[in-house]
Every structure is written in C-alpha cells, then in structure tokens.
Structure 1
Amino acid sequence: MLSILSLLASTAGAQSSANGTDPTIPEPTIVSVVFRYNPNKIVAGVAGGLYIIASVLLFIRLFANRTWWGLCLPIASTFMSIGFYMRIPMAMYPNSLPIFMIQQLFTILPPAAYLAFNYILYGRFIVQCVDRRYSWIKPEKVAKYFVISDITTFLIQGGGGGMQASTNTTSDKLGADILLGGLVLQTLSFAFFMILVFHAYRKIVNDGIRPSQEHWGTILWTLFFSSTAFMIRCIYRVIELAQGNGGYLMTHEVYFYALDSLPLLIGISTYIFYWPTRYFEPKTPTDMYALQP
C-alpha cells in the first residue's frame, strides 16, 4: 500500500525543487507527484456507479438470505464506490490532502474485506457442506488466522512507508524494501489460502465425491473464481510497487482500472449471481450452528 507519509514527503521535495529552479514552473501537486496523470472524472464516475450497483444487489442478496456474517462484502463495496467518486473532486482539487487521503483509503482498504468474506465462506462451507477432515486448518479458525495475517502484513507495509518519509537515503531505500516485502507477504498469504481451498477440493474428489454433481459444488466454483480475480489484483499491486513511485503501471490510469478495479468488481459480482447460502447443505443441527457468531 502506498504510504501517505512517503507521498507527502516526495510532494514536498518536488515542490521545493520546482520553486528553486524556475518560478514559472507550476508547483507540483499531490496528484501530479503520485500519479503523474489527472484522474479521468467520467471513468471514475462510471466505476463508482458500477460499484454502487454491485453494492445494492449484494445488500439485496444478503438481506433476502439473512446472511449477516457476509455484511463485510456489500459494505466494503459501498466504501470503494465512494473512493472512486472521490477521484472526481481529487481531479478538481489535486492538492487537497483530505480528498486525496479519503480517496486512497477508500480504494485501498475495502479489498481486505473481500478477502475476509472468502475466508469466512471457506470455513462455513467445510463445516456445513462436507467435513472438517478435508481442511488442513480447522475451518472455524481459517478466517481468524488469515485476517491476522492480513493485518500483520498491512502493519509491515505501514512501517515501511513511514521509513520512506525519512530524509535519510538509507532509510528511504530500506523503507521501500519493507513496504514491498509486506505486500509480497500479503500476496503469498492469499496464495496459501487458494492452495488451502484447492487441497480441500482434491481431498473431496479423492473420496469419490464429484462437486459438479453436488448442490454445494457452486460454492467451490465461486471461491475459486473470485479468489483468482482477487489474486490478479494482488499481483498487479506487487508489480506496481516494485516499479516504484513514477513506474509505468502507477502513472497510467488504465491499468488501475483494468488490473485493480475490474478484477475486484468481477470477483464480488460473482456472489450477486451465486449467493453462497443458497447452496449450503447443513448435515446436522450442530454443524448448522457451529460457526454462528
């Protein structure tokens, strides 16, 4: 995740450099230093609209099925739509720190909730549809472990970003490495989750069960499909950060939408058509309520 501190530091440095060399050159703004482009207001509005539609439909699914444990998905989608809409005033006021911070936070943080939804879904699927022995990790603990992992890697990224704000060149380089390392660890953590899902699938198949012939098989398919979409976004973020501030991916808005926003939208929209609780098959009352909050 991009660090607000390091961005402000680079902006201040750029402004100082511009003022000291040629007073006729416009002072660089936060947006121009970070993105090197002016956000397209029309595209931002369309993206925000699509996420609002997705949010409404997900809320309808959630309330219709009384799936309160899944609130994190439509709520995060709503916040992300706000983040896209904030790109419109950000383009109009490119040096407004409050607008920039809100836009960044509302587009960077919600994906963590999308991943959390998949973690929770996996645990409930194992308990309610198949058997706990198919999971490497206790299904009741999967969401807890992976959410803790995400929080830990997030803090690592924050620490690295804070070091980037230092005027010390060594600290700046180390901070960038720590920031990238945290993002790589986060991506590897989610990759392990995908392996966990695939492992469960293989064990189920090895027992002679064909998920495609089971009512709950749709849950496995949606988990695979949405997780793959989310992984595309994770890999994009790693490559983007590895290129550094001013890299090709970061300075071309089309990639932000094509490799970040679109995969996430596709991933969460899968649940609009295939809301998971419609495919749950509780075996016993104990299993049915084992994961109730």
Structure 2
Amino acid sequence: MGASSAPYYYVPSLEAAIIFVVLFMAATILHAYQMWQTKTWFLTAFCCGGFFEAAGYIVRAKSATESGIPRYEIGPFVAQNMLLLVAPALFAASIYMELGRISEALRADTYLLVRRQRLTGTFVTGDVIAFFSQLGGSGLMASDSNSVRNIGRIIAIVGLVVQIVFFSCFIVAGVMFHRRLRKKPTQRLLEQPQALRYERHMHAIYGTSVLIFARSIVRVVEFVQGLEGYIATHQIFIFVFDAVPMFVVMLILNWIHPSEIRSLVNGGKMAKWVRLIECAPVSS
C-alpha cells in the first residue's frame, strides 16, 4: 500500500491516545455511577457516547503501536473513526431530553416552541438520522474504491450537517424557553425559589450544545477537504477540536448533573461528582 492510500498521514500519538482513554473512561464510569444512583435513565445514551469515545481512543492507541506509514491496518483506523465520529450524537440525544425534563419539572410546557411530548422525539429523530448517516458514511470510507470513499464522505457530511441544523434549532428553542421563563416565571418557580437553580442547567445545555456544534463544524470542514486535506492529515485537530471539547461536555454534566433539577422539585437523590445528596420532596 502506497503512502497515498495510507489511512493515517501522520504517526498517531500513543501518549495522547492513552491520556484520553483514561479521561473518557473515568468520566464515563462516574456518569454511569451517577445515573444508576439517581435513576436518571435518560442519560443512558450519554454514557454510551462516553464508552464510544474511550473505545475510539483505545483503538487509536492500538494503531499507534503498529509499524507506521504505510503499514497501519485499515480496520483499527475505520473503527476509531466511526466511534469518535458518532459518539457526540449520543451525547446530543440526552441533552435534548434534559430540556424536556426541565420543562416538566417547572410546569413550563407552554413556554416551549414545540410541545414537550414532541420535543424529545423531534430532536432525537434528527439525531438518529445524523447518527446513522455518520456511521454509514464512515464505514464506506474504508473502501478501496475512490468513488465509494467519496460517497461515504458525502454521506458523513450530510449526517454532520443534519446534526448542526438540529442543534441550531434546539439552541434557539432553548433560548426562547429560557427567555419566556425569565420574563414570566411559572407558579412553581414563584412558590419554590430553590427551583430557580434550573438556570444552571440551562447554561449547561448551552455550553455542551455549543461545544458539540463547534466540533461538528470542524468535522464538516475536515470531510469537505477530504482524507488528504489539512485537518485530516494533522492529528492536532482530532485532539484540540474533538477530544478536548467532548471531554469537557462530559465534565460539565458530571458537575451540573441533570438529576439535580428533578430532585430540587420532586425530591430524591441528586449527584455532584461522587457526592449523592438526598432531597426531600416539596409540596406542589
């Protein structure tokens, strides 16, 4: 296999891959613990995304132990590309669901641009389309045929664009919901001041959404440039614009855990890192 067909156009860093394996595994295990203890089951997709990230860097570390250009095996390259490409779509699914949980807890469904019963379904449907488009596209990019690889690249771009479009609409929906609540708080907010901490969770939604949005923009540019483009041939981009932002997304929700908004209003356990705080239910 010549250099022009090498799956990597650089020597993958073993040290960087190991660092992110450890970081993503630690954050994911903590998320799984928090989810289990607080019964915040809608974060299942989020935890799966964390395992995908860790698995992607495990496979990347395996590539880094191989002989080097042009001897890298195509299998591990494709596997790490697929895992790292689709993991943020799983993060997005849980973030979409959190807005619906906030609306339900605060009894603010009338402030949503889309009915709560349809909110999660609408955005998660877009996320599923993005997920399978990116998964299928990255798989086709493993082909020996240039034409098939180009088709795969285009499909992956479509998946990323779908993700960006739905995230843009979601951010607009979140901002409008938040503005309406600030302008005219619901009766639950007026009667239960502690529920005002919902704003922490809105800010967490904004922060995580912007990070995934920005990461998706960079990946679109990468695929538009092609497998031999500047971004694809410089591994610094995968770490600075993918690994770091996605790890920060996980940390944000480790700290501002979605269990908090439910427990503040309805009681139950809330998580903050490894701490579990029992909250008594408040009257309606």
Return the TM-score normalized by structure 1.
Answer: 0.76
Comparing 96-105 with 109-118, which one deviates more in the overlay?
96-105
Comparing 56-65 with 93-102, which one deviates more in the overlay?
93-102
Return the TM-score normalized by structure 2.
Answer: 0.78
SS at 1:186 equivalent: helix
Q: Give the one of 220, 223, 236 matched to 2:202.
A: 220
Give the Cα separation in 2 of the matches to 1:106 and 1:176.
16
Write the deviation string for residues 192-224 of structure 1: whole angstroms up to 9, x where unpaired. Answer: 111111110111122157999812222111111
Q: Give the one of 161, 168, 175 matched to 1:184.
A: 161
User: Who is 1:28 aligned against?
Assistant: 3
Give the Cα separation in 2 of the matches to 1:148 and 1:122.
15
User: Residues 227, 179 of structure 1: CA spacing in aligned structure 2 closer, same or farther, 3 A cutoff?
Assistant: closer
Give the Cα separation in 2 of the matches to 1:42 and 1:278.
36
RMSD: 3.1
Give the Cα separation in 2 of the matches to 1:154 and 1:75.
13
Q: Give the AA of the match of 1:276.
A: P
SS at 1:215 equivalent: helix
Rg larger in 1 or in 2? 1
User: Residues 87, 155 of structure 1: CA spacing in aligned structure 2 closer, same or farther, 3 A cutoff?
Assistant: closer
| 8 Å CA contact retained: 1:212, 1:218 | no
Which runs of no fewer than 5 residues in structure 1 stay unpaired? 1-14, 16-26, 285-293
**Count of paired positions:** 256
Which runs of no fewer than 5 residues in structure 2 stay unpaired? 268-284
| 8 Å CA contact retained: 2:10, 2:234 | yes
State the 1:269 CA deviation. Answer: 0.9
Q: Give the one of 38, 56, 81 matched to 1:65.
A: 38
User: Residues 150, 279 of structure 1: CA spacing in aligned structure 2 closer, same or farther, 3 A cutoff?
Assistant: closer
Identical residues among aligned pairs (%): 22
State the 1:41 CA deviation. Answer: 0.3
For the pair 1:48 / 2:48, whether they are aligned, the reply is no
Write the deviation string for residues 144-197 of structure 1: whole angstroms up to 9, x where unpaired. Answer: 22222123244555469859969686x876775554344223211111111111
User: Who is 2:271 aligned against?
Assistant: none
| 8 Å CA contact retained: 1:233, 1:260 | yes
Comparing 74-83 with 108-117, which one deviates more in the overlay?
74-83
For the pair 1:89 / 2:62, whether they are aligned, the reply is yes
Q: Give the AA of the match of 2:113.
A: W
Q: Give the one of 187, 195, 209 matched to 2:172.
A: 195
User: Residues 241, 72 of structure 1: CA spacing in aligned structure 2 closer, same or farther, 3 A cutoff?
Assistant: same
| 8 Å CA contact retained: 2:88, 2:246 | yes
User: Residues 238, 89 of structure 1: CA spacing in aligned structure 2 closer, same or farther, 3 A cutoff?
Assistant: same
Give the Cα separation in 2 of the matches to 1:163 and 1:273.
37
Q: Give the one of 129, 134, 152 matched to 2:106.
A: 129
Q: Give the one of 262, 265, 275 matched to 2:257.
A: 275
Give the Cα separation in 2 of the matches to 1:250 and 1:148.
29
State the 1:230 CA deviation. Answer: 1.3
State the 1:244 CA deviation. Answer: 1.7
